[in-house]
Homo-oligomer: A and B are copies of this chain.
Amino acid sequence: MPFRRLGPSGLRVPVFSLGGWLTLGGSVRGDPVREIIKTAFENGINMFDTAEGYAAGRSEEEMGRVIKELGLRRTDLIISTKLFWGPHEPQNGMGLSRKHIIEGTKESLQRLGLDYVDIIFAHRPDNTVPIEETVRAFNFVINQGWTFYWGTSEWSALEIEEAHHVADELGLVGPIAEQCEHHMLHRDRPECEYAPMYSKYGMSTTVFSALAGGLLTGKYNNGIPPDSRLAVQKEQWLQDRAKSLGEPEGQAMLAKIKALADVAESDLGCKVSHLALAWIARNPNTSTVILGASKPEQIVDNLKALEVIPKLTPAIVEKVEGILNNKPAPPSTWGRPPLDPFGRSSL
């Protein structure tokens, strides 16, 4: 398993990690959770991502229990959790106030059965709390030894910039990574909006939904299978997504995915899911791609993407870009002539 630095930090994370969203503690409980985590660990995945809001805390509980049962050494693991959607009363029991960040961290650690995690992400921005309070609170948590780093999740570039502004002024630690949605069909934010965050602060991403919620496995190419998540689960956003597949935009998207599948098979000898995972993993700003799994086999299969990464030559990349046709445009220079691309053109 290759390792990469997480943002500007010295922490090394595996290119593929395992996340608990929707599955661990949610649709998967008990022994199967242990089998999934065990398989991941044996295949080189030593980073596990969860959140206080996943399955109302049960994701953290299951993960913590399994880590203990498997007897994994704490120093061999990288554990990330996320704070925002707390399980208690809604006025002060959620969000990014000092009160919830501190109280929420204590409760997360208790559920995980750990003294500390490696990184805590702010699961969403909270525009009802001054950013200074949030930055100070995460630094308090770091200074207590309850986490080593903190990051953001689905914040805008402006919100991240505001956090670094405050952190710089107060001599505090800013966010080192963004946990964001990034896949072949969702590129503007991670590839364009965040560009200054990568170059100015050395931040990187921990990516979720690299397979676009399963779309990029190709399993919806011929309709929604009756046992798939889109057929089974009832959340509104899943229902909406299912419906959208029947509409013209959804159909165009499925056509792209079929074309990608052809490239994967003919040019790379792999599944479209491997191409999709490798595509995100090869992005220099990706530190880790968080895999979701409801069965151990999925992990083993997904990791085949590791072999695809070096096969993504300029020619293949151009072919894929031609199919996707969604490469974010560079920002306008308002008429200033472009800089010589062979020189130090970038800021």
Instruction: Name A residues whose Cβ lies closer than 8 Å to a Cβ of B.
Output: 2-5, 8-12, 15, 46, 73-76, 78, 84-86, 88-99, 102-103, 107, 118, 124-130, 133-134, 136, 140, 143-145, 148-149, 156-158, 161-162, 164-165, 168-171, 173, 196, 198, 202, 204, 281-282, 284-287, 309-310, 331, 333-337, 339-340, 342-345, 347
Contact = CB atoms under 8 A, between A and B. Distances in A.
Contacts of A134: 10
A103 to B, nearest CB: 5
Contact of A336 (B73, B128, B285): B128
Contacts of A125: 334
Main SS class of interface, A: loop
A28 B309 CA distance: 49
Contact of A128 (B5, B127, B133, B284): B5
Nearest to A3: B91
A284 B19 CA distance: 38
B95 A10 contact: yes
A3 B341 CA distance: 9
Q: Which 6 A-B pairs have the closest CB atoms?
A: A10-B129, A10-B97, A2-B340, A4-B343, A165-B165, A124-B334
A96 B344 contact: no
A66 B196 CA distance: 43
Nearest to A156: B158
Contact of A15 (B128, B161, B334, B340): B340
